Amino acid sequence: MNLGDVKVLVATPNYMNQFEATVHTNHLHCSTTWTKEGIDFNWTIIGRSFVHFARTQMCQIAVEGGFTHILWLDDDAIIEPDILPRFIEHDKDVVIAPYCLRKMPHDIGVLKSASGDYHDHASYRNLDIADMDQGLIEIDGGGTHCMLVKTEVLTRKGVTQGEQDVPVELQQEIEALGERGQMLAKQILAENEAQHMSFMDEDEIGIPYFVMPKVGTEDMYWCYRAKRKGIEIWCDTDVFAGHMGFTPVVSRSWREHTEKEMAHKKADQAVKMAIIPGDNKNSEGRNHYGMHREKAVNLV
C-alpha cells in the first residue's frame, strides 16, 4: 500500500490526562519522522474518559472522518517511527507489535491459542522470546499497546452471512423456558447474530466498538469479537514496542533477562526438591496469587 494513499488516526486514550516526558519525546520523534515521510496522520488524544469509552469514540471519529487506518498507541508506549510505515505496507486487517507487560515477569502482551481454536480461551498463552524474529505470524489477539487497524474492518460485515430468523420450533422451545432461561437464550442468539454484523452496525444499535468484559481487557475482547467476524489478526515479531513501567522502560532485553532469572530459580527449586523430597511442593509453579503460572495469561 502506498504511504501517500493513507490517512491515519493515531489514537491514544489518556485517562490521567498527562504523559511521561519520555513518552512525549517519543511522540515528537514519531510525528517529525512521519511528517518527513509524507504520511497523512492526525494524533487524537482523549483524556478523562474510561478507556473503552475513549476507544469507541475514536473508532467513530475514524469511520466518520474518512481515515484509512487507526494506529492504537497507548499513553505509555515507546516505539520506533518506522513501525507505522512498516505496518501499513503489511496490508493486513490488524497488525500488533509485541510488547512486555509492566508487571513481573513481564510477559509479552500477544496471545495465541495452543489448541488452534480461538474459542478455546483456556488454551491461550502469551508469546515468548522464542516466538520472536519469525516475521508476520497470525495470532488470536493482543493488546492495543501498538496496533494498526484498517478502518474498513470496522464497517465490514461478518464473513458468515445467513438466515437470521429463529426457527419456529426453536422459538417455541425458548418460550417454554423459565424467565432466566429465556433471557440466556436470547443473549446467545443476539451474540451469534452479532458476528454477522459489522462493528459499526453493532455500535448503531447500542453495542459499542469497545466493551469492557467482566473478565479480561477491552482490547482482547475486541480481538475475540473481530475473529468471530472473520477479521485476521497478525503480529510482526521482528519489531518490539517499549513500555513505560517500573524499570522504568520494559523492553525486549528486559524480558530476556527475566526469562533467564526464572529459569535459574526453577533450576534452584529442582535442586532443593531433590535434596529434601516433598519440601516446598506447595510453592512450585505458583505465582503470588496461588495460581499456576502456565494457566494464567493476561495483558496487564
What is the predicted pLDDT for the residue at 163?
41
285 pLDDT band, cuts 50/70/90, is very low
Mark whether 152 and 228 lie in a shared domain. yes
The strand pair at 40-47 and 7-14 is best described as parallel
Within a domain: residue 24?
A: yes
- Do 104 and 179 sit in the same domain of this protein? no
Q: What is the pLDDT of residue 75?
A: 95
Phi and psi for 235 in degrees, rounded to 5?
Answer: -125, 130
Examine the domain organization and report whether 171 and 98 are in the same domain: no
Tens of pLDDT, residues 268-278: 777 667 665 55
Residue with cell 469511520: 63
Q: In this structure, are 28 and 144 located in the same domain?
A: yes
Looking at 17-31, 49-63, 178-192, which range is the least confident one?
A: 178-192
Are residue 25 and residue 131 in the same domain, yes or no? yes
What does the DSSP 8-state code read for residue 233? E
- 148 and 47 share a domain? yes
Judgement on whether residues 89 and 187 belong to the same structural domain of the protein: no
- pLDDT for 104 beyond 80: yes
279 within a domain of the structure (yes/no): no
Instruction: Tell me the whole-structure pTM to 2 decimals.
Output: 0.77
Rounded Cα distance between 82 and 79, Å, is 8
Whether 99 and 127 map to the same domain: the answer is yes
129 in Cβ contact with 255 (< 8 Å): yes
Question: Is residue 150 located within the same domain as residue 175?
Answer: no
- 114 vs 118, 221, 242, CA distance in Å? 9, 18, 26
- State the cell numbers at 195: 458476528
Higher pLDDT, 90 or 162: 90
pLDDT in tens, 106-136: 899 999 999 999 989 999 999 999 999 999 9
**110 neighbors 98 (Cβ within 8 angstroms):** yes
CATH number, domain containing residue 217 = 3.90.550.40
- Kindly state whether residue 63 falls inside one of the protein's structural domains: yes
Q: Given this model, what pLDDT does residue 90 score?
A: 97
Query: Is residue 282 pLDDT above 80, yes or no?
Result: no
In a domain, 259, yes or no: no
Q: What's the structural domain count of the chain?
A: 2
Same domain, 54 and 173: no
- The whole-number average pLDDT for the span 243-266 is 83
The sign of the CA dihedral 284, 125, 255, 15 is negative
Half-sphere exposure of 188 (CA within 13 A, CB side): 9
Compute the average pLDDT of residues 42-47.
Answer: 95
pLDDT digits (tens, 9 = 90+) for 214-230: 888 999 999 999 999 99
The answer to the question of residue 120 being in a domain is yes
Residue from 299, 300, 251 nearest 79 by CA: 251
Q: Give a yes or no: residue 226 inside a domain.
A: yes
**Looking at residues 71-84, what average pLDDT do you find?**
97
CA 99, distance to chain mean position in Å, is 11
Verify that 51 and 106 share a domain, yes or no.
Answer: yes
pLDDT of res. 210: 96
Strand, coil or helix: 147: strand
Q: Does the structure show a pLDDT above 80 at 246? A: no
Domain interval for residue 186? 164-194
Residue at 171 is within a domain: yes
Mean pLDDT, all residues of the chain: 85
Q: Is residue 298 part of a domain?
A: no
Q: Say whether both 131 and 7 belong to one domain.
A: yes
Which residue among 225, 244, 263 closes a domain?
A: 244
